Amino acid sequence: MLTKRIIPCLDVKEGRVVKGVQFVNLIDAGDPVELAAFYDREGADELVFLDISASHEGRQTMIDVVERVASQLAIPFTVGGGINSLEDMKRVLRAGADKVSVNTAALLRPELITEGADYFGSQCIVTAIDAKYDETLGSWRVYTHGGRKPTEWEVTAWAKEAVKRGSGEILLTSMDQDGEKSGFNLKLTKAVSEAVTVPVIASGGAGNAQHFYEAFTEGKADAGLAASIFHYKETSVREVKRELKGKGMVIR
């Protein structure tokens, strides 16, 4: 069995970490550099940094903040938000990222995934998918621009397409569950995990260690990502890992 990973996420807007519910009502959650150093000490397996308004505002990722966060880390570091080209990927990786996350730009131009995978290797390319249940579709619809714009893509179809084009990992966020702390969307996570051959990171809805356990067992996820429960010290990476090990999960 692959080792399951616990990944804190820094959603960054205007240089500060923020957190909301279902992608709205954002409130300040702290300094990204301080939080990065804290999570590195806490035993997080990786860290994800998402410049959440870059695509919507039509600008590049905040490289200076990425550099300062990277300087605090000895764990793998994924950066996303406003990455529209191979040059953007190079810039972020030079700043200290280990992987790049693409979302809106990949949906607008799927060749971006292939270009990145060909140049850096699939292990470097994470496709982030923001999905929301759609009654008319009878499944989950993929959204762009930080959850603002619906696309024609159904979630498993887009996940398969991203992997076919070279993505080495899927970061899957349930917009319906985001910030609710009621648990990951297990049906969505399982559907995507079973549709692709690469690791899937479950995101959106973590409230406690049990939710991670359910994401790994019922949802078939390879990693669990959370933000607010870690930022606001409702639980810790250490505590989640301790509980999961107690349930027999293979954890680093």
Structure tokens at 179: 């910030």
State yes or no: is 28 an active-site residue: no
> Among 49, 53, 10, 57, which residue's Cα sits nearest to residue 29?
10
* Token pair listed for 88: 């953007």
Q: Is 186 left (phi over 0), alpha (psi -120 to 50) or beta?
A: alpha
Question: Which residue of the set 11, 45, 88, 222 is catalytic?
Answer: 11
Among the listed residues 88, 130, 178, 222, the single catalytic one is 130
- Known catalytic residue at 11: yes
17 CB-near residues (< 8 Å, 6+ apart): 10, 11, 28, 29, 30, 31, 32, 35, 231
Other Cβ atoms within 10 Å of 196 Cβ, number = 20
Burial class (CB in 10 A: 0-12, 13-18, 19+), 127: buried
Place of tokens 């600008």: 59
How far lies 203's CA from each of 9, 23, 76, 110, 238, in Å? 9, 12, 17, 22, 18
Catalytic residue annotation: 11, 130
